[in-house]
Structure 1
Amino acid sequence: MEKLPLDALPDALPDAIDEDKYVICTYYVGLPPFMDAREMAHAAAIEQSTGTWTLVPGETPEVRRRHVAKVIGVYEVPQHEYSYPKDLERREYIMQVAYPWKNFGAQIPMLLSTVIGNISLYGRIKCLDMKFPKSWLKGFKGPKFGIKGLRNLLKIKKRPILNNMVKPCVYTSCQMGADLAYEAAAGGADIIKDDELLANPDFNTLEDRIPRFMEALDRADSEKGEKTIYTVNITDSLPRMFENAERAIELGANGLMINFLAVGYSAFRHVSENLAPKVPLLAHMDVTGALSYSPIVGISSNIVTGKLPRICGSDITVFPAPYGKAPVLRERFLNVAHDMIMPLHNIEQTAPMPSGGISPGHVEEVVNDLGLDIVIGTGAGIHAHPMGPRAGAIAFRQAFDAKMQGIPVSKYAKEEGHEELKAAMASWGSGKTGADF
């Protein structure tokens, strides 16, 4: 390294790089105390850009200047200055590496191959964040609707949006599912969503399900005087998923959903940008835990579930909430939502959809945490209501009314005319539901 010019080294001061030319990644790294952290960071930067374990003839100073990744920060936490304890088993660092984005372009597969590719084999290394420049983001269209577009489409000015997942998750009779969707929609659900486990099996095909559901929702809409969106699950192998998208819209679907990690970000992006320009697209987060839930390896959930699906065009992203059955820390939950809604140059907001064991008794806490610009996702919170799914949806809308009026949900449930909310509170209260991990 010392034989190369300084500007060809895999190293730079953060003050000296042109940030518009780089994607900057922040990592947690844990190393044995005897290992040189900056040397390891340099090796990783070279591994993920121009080189390999030793310098090769073609890796000239000019190639390095154009393409090498730059280590711009190595910060030990806590920071030992003159010595470290003799019994110290591990030294822990926050590291930052800047990758020239022209190396991989405005796409996700080569981004991930670059920033968390081979180095993911190195042990304790987790990508905590990715900082994207405006020039890179211009290559993406982002959400077509986002929060504002969904409100305009549904004609909902201020309150939260209510999404219902049809339960049971997998079922044989399309008509049974349509009947359940009708009841939930008639009670006040704004969006009806397929479960992530039901897409296009032989016993419950899109061809059979979509017309029945849309007819049921049309009836519900005429009764309640509101619009309902049906996000049909088109997840499949490729290219069948693309065919599913086109066919679903032909059959009358006014929304689509994809298990985005199962099919890949680029497949999801292609549907958003090219196949479904006029309907909202919902991203379901299954597989997130496999990528994010280790504290020492993988990619942080705010990237996996927050930034990347938003950049790829998710209008609504489902993510686990700490109020119900999901095992997730509240601060991580809030960080994911933060990355869905904060300004991101040309990319619109994604509507956060907290989900996982949410009941009407959680509405107050959810809105306190995230505000009104959300989609609240619930399945059994509607379909397991003791008075039926229509009453379950009514109970949620009553909880929305309570919050909008500044009345505690528990108090509102006791008032005359709110029997549905009262029954929900009697069944589940406002505590954690489901399996408590």
Structure 2
Amino acid sequence: MNATDRLHVRYRVTGRDADEVAEAIRVEQTIEFPADLAAPWIQEEIVGRVEDRDTDSVVVSYAPGVLAGGLTQLLNVLWGNVSIFEGVRVVDVRLPDDDVLGLRGPRFGVAGMRELLAAPRRALLATALKPMGSSAAELAEVARTLAVAGLDIIKDDHSLGDQPWAPWRERVARCAEAVREANSRTGGRALYMPSLNVPAPEVQERAHEAKALGAGALLVLPGISGFDAMRALADDDELALPVMSHPSMLGSHIVSASQGIAHGLLLGLVNRLAGADLCVFPSHGGRFAFSPEQCAEIRDECAAPRGRLAPALPAPGGGMTVERLPELLDLYGRDVALLVGGALHRGDLATNAARMREAVESAA
């Protein structure tokens, strides 16, 4: 599939007639109207075009005008009504030329995050503040310990919202101050990243408030808040903070082999289109069932040349341990943000976090 001004999507078809599905997709994803009743120019210029097909997949392309409307319409065309079809999975995408989509993508990307964190070569280190139920003061002390030990990104756990035991504003203020004090003490550049797991009308306002309170980055749940909400944060020049995407509620799009969107396309490409600088996903061997091949697919799609989109950092987590860091570095290389959460609390937190930093420095 050659790059043009059209969007090309390959759909894998399971248990259905590929020709029948191709015809349904090209109409359903565009006019959603009996094609034979449409004006000839609509049939020729607007309805999707079948570009290729074989026994188990079809390629449909879509005209630039169909994509007009930004990221929301792009996602609608990619996986709108066809998401309701059984036995159809998006397995490959060729984007149109940059000028057609007009999406900026990651503000910082790999190079920008490395510059921000003064880490030109080694893998980056991330962790999550846990567990829910801890007070804001307790979470801040954990954040301080982790920053002193040399971790780069100290994020809220994605489930931390505005719970009564650690209200959002108090938690953000205390954790941001703790990380700032740790950086002042060590000369480090650790970033505190609050979760924007908040009601939709408040996302943008809370993001600016988080920056004012001292947060250095933002955690977004696009499966809940929306991919375009994340894009709006990434594109906000006044905000200008790194954005990490968390996969909460996205799993149902990817876990079926015969349905949904390929792992790399959703957690890599779509995240990049929506401006994510870092993309969280569960690594193999943890408490989720991703395979090494699926994780490699996400890794590769975070870095794949995609017009002017900057590469994003894969952030594998989900039950990782310090002991597994060498293995993870073998799979992901150094352009990665390794995410170890609850396992750091088994034993002495400061010692375990320091071991994590030592592991990546020795491999750099």
Q: How does 1:52-201 map to 2 (within 5 A)?
A: 52-53=33-34, 55-56=36-37, 59-76=38-55, 93-105=56-68, 107-135=70-98, 139-168=102-131, 170-201=132-163
Q: Are the aligned partners of 1:144 and 1:280 in contact in 2 as well (CA < 8 Å)?
A: yes
Amino acid at match of 1:301: H
Amino acid at match of 1:264: G
Structure 1 unmatched runs, 5+: 1-13, 77-92, 405-437
Asked if 1:28 is matched to 2:12, the reply is yes
Distance (whole Å) between structure 1 residues aligned to residue 111 and residue 35 of structure 2: 52
| CA deviation vs aligned residue, 1:303-362 (integer Å, no higher than 9, x gap) | 211101111111111111013222111101110111111221111111111111111211
Distance (whole Å) between structure 1 residues aligned to residue 7 and residue 95 of structure 2: 5
Q: Between Structure 1 and Structure 2, whose CA radius of gyration is higher? A: 1
| CA deviation vs aligned residue, 1:196-226 (integer Å, no higher than 9, x gap) | 0002334322321122112211222233221
Which of 391, 406, 414 in structure 1 is aligned with 2:351?
391
Amino acid at match of 2:26: A
Q: How does 1:242-391 map to 2 (within 5 A)?
A: 242-274=204-236, 277-384=239-346, 386=347, 388-391=348-351
Please report how far the alpha carbon of residue 51 of structure 1 lies from its aligned counterpart in structure 2 after TM superposition: 4.7
Distance (whole Å) between structure 1 residues aligned to residue 142 and residue 32 of structure 2: 57
| CA deviation vs aligned residue, 1:96-155 (integer Å, no higher than 9, x gap) | 100113113252322232232223333211111221112356501111111111111111
| CA deviation vs aligned residue, 1:37-82 (integer Å, no higher than 9, x gap) | 32441232122223534622xx121122221110111111xxxxxx
Please report how far the alpha carbon of residue 378 of structure 1 lies from its aligned counterpart in structure 2 after TM superposition: 0.9
Distance (whole Å) between structure 2 residues aligned to residue 357 and residue 224 of structure 1: 29
1:42 aligned partner: 23
Please report how far the alpha carbon of residue 163 of structure 1 lies from its aligned counterpart in structure 2 after TM superposition: 0.8
Structure 2 unmatched runs, 5+: none
Secondary structure in structure 2 of the residue aligned to 1:27: strand
Secondary structure in structure 2 of the residue aligned to 1:346: coil
Asked if 1:205 is matched to 2:197, the reply is no
Q: Are the aligned partners of 1:106 and 1:140 in contact in 2 as well (CA < 8 Å)?
A: no
Please report how far the alpha carbon of residue 172 of structure 1 lies from its aligned counterpart in structure 2 after TM superposition: 4.1
Q: Percent identity over the alignment?
A: 25
Amino acid at match of 1:402: S
Q: Are the aligned partners of 1:106 and 1:139 in contact in 2 as well (CA < 8 Å)?
A: no
Secondary structure in structure 2 of the residue aligned to 1:182: helix
Distance (whole Å) between structure 1 residues aligned to residue 285 and residue 99 of structure 2: 36
Please report how far the alpha carbon of residue 275 of structure 1 lies from its aligned counterpart in structure 2 after TM superposition: 6.5
Secondary structure in structure 2 of the residue aligned to 1:102: helix
Q: RMSD of aligned C-alpha atoms?
A: 1.9
Amino acid at match of 1:289: G
- Go from structure 1 to structure 2 and tell me whether the alpha carbon gap of 1:212 and 1:137 turns closer, same or farther (over 3 Å shift): farther
Distance (whole Å) between structure 2 residues aligned to residue 312 and residue 155 of structure 1: 25
Amino acid at match of 1:266: D
Larger RCO of the pair (alpha carbons < 8 Å, separation 6+): 2
Scaled by the length of structure 1, the TM-score of the pair is: 0.79
| CA deviation vs aligned residue, 1:17-46 (integer Å, no higher than 9, x gap) | xx52211111111245xx5x3244123212
Q: Are the aligned partners of 1:185 and 1:390 in contact in 2 as well (CA < 8 Å)?
A: no
Structure 1 stretches of 4+ moved >6 Å: none
Amino acid at match of 1:75: D
1:219 aligned partner: 181
Secondary structure in structure 2 of the residue aligned to 1:239: helix
Please report how far the alpha carbon of residue 193 of structure 1 lies from its aligned counterpart in structure 2 after TM superposition: 0.6
| CA deviation vs aligned residue, 1:389-414 (integer Å, no higher than 9, x gap) | 1111111112223323xxxxxxxxxx
Scaled by the length of structure 2, the TM-score of the pair is: 0.94
Distance (whole Å) between structure 2 residues aligned to residue 275 and residue 233 of structure 1: 20
Distance (whole Å) between structure 2 residues aligned to residue 166 and residue 348 of structure 1: 28
